[in-house]
Amino acid sequence: MEEKQAEIASSFRAFFGWKFLSSPLFSTPDKQNNFKFNKVKKHRGFTLVELLLVVAILGILVSGFITIMNPANQLKNSRDAKRKSDLRQIQSALELYRADCGSYPVAPPNQLPSPFTSTCTGTVVTYMQSVPKDPKGNNYYYQNIGSSGYEISICAENAKAGEEGVKPHAVCGFVFFVNNP
């Protein structure tokens, strides 16, 4: 019975960290019937091996996550998405210009004025406050193709052949383009 009490006392002290349990229920008598605490060895931290194991596992998980996510590729994709969005905005402004003036602007290649305005209606109409540049600071290439057409293009970083609005280019590999021949 005393052994059972000692075992219970030991488990309570170990679980709760109680040091004040000195009743006969939570302590065991020695040979002279003096009650003494059962000493429980306390675990005060982690060993070096345990810490190294946890750090190694975390390192493996993080490196696997980075490999799967491929942040460089994600950045290229986001810059290409920005380029496509800018092309659509420029295309919308050019279509508004054509609706007002009857033809597309005749601007030197690679130069749409910024802000993109017109006075063909008798008043100054602003189609774009500023013509955007691509995320790396390059200009979008604009070329007037006769009186009823244009082409806008920009070098792509992560485009592949076969995508809509992508064509091969000698200098940059592939370009995003929008045209209205």
CATH number of the domain encompassing residue 97: 3.30.700.10
Q: Which range of residues forms the domain containing residue 39?
A: 2-69
- Predicted TM-score (pTM) of the model is 0.64
Distances (CA, A) of 7 to 10, 25, 41, 157: 5, 10, 14, 70
The reported pLDDT for the residue numbered 45 is 85
Give yes or no: residues 120 and 79 share one domain: yes
Measured at the CA of 176, the angle between CA 171 and CA 177, to 5 degrees, comes to 105
- Number of domains the chain is built from: 2
Distance separating alpha carbons of residues 101 and 113, to the nearest angstrom: 16
Q: What is the pLDDT of residues 122-161, one digit of tens each?
A: 899 999 998 898 898 888 888 888 766 888 888 889 887 7
Q: Is 100 in the same domain as 162?
A: yes
Using 50 as the pLDDT threshold, list the residues of the chain that sit under it. Answer: none
pLDDT (0 to 100) of residue 37? 55
Phi-psi sector, 17: left (phi>0), alpha (psi -120 to 50), beta: left
Over its C-alpha atoms, the chain yields an Rg (Å, rounded) of 38
Tokens of 172: 């940059």
Structure confidence at residue 120 (pLDDT): 87
* Same-domain pairing of 87 and 63: no
pLDDT confidence of residue 15: 59
Q: Are residues 84 and 148 in the same domain?
A: yes
Choose one of 12, 46, 69: the last residue of a domain. 69
Do 83 and 155 sit in the same domain of this protein? yes
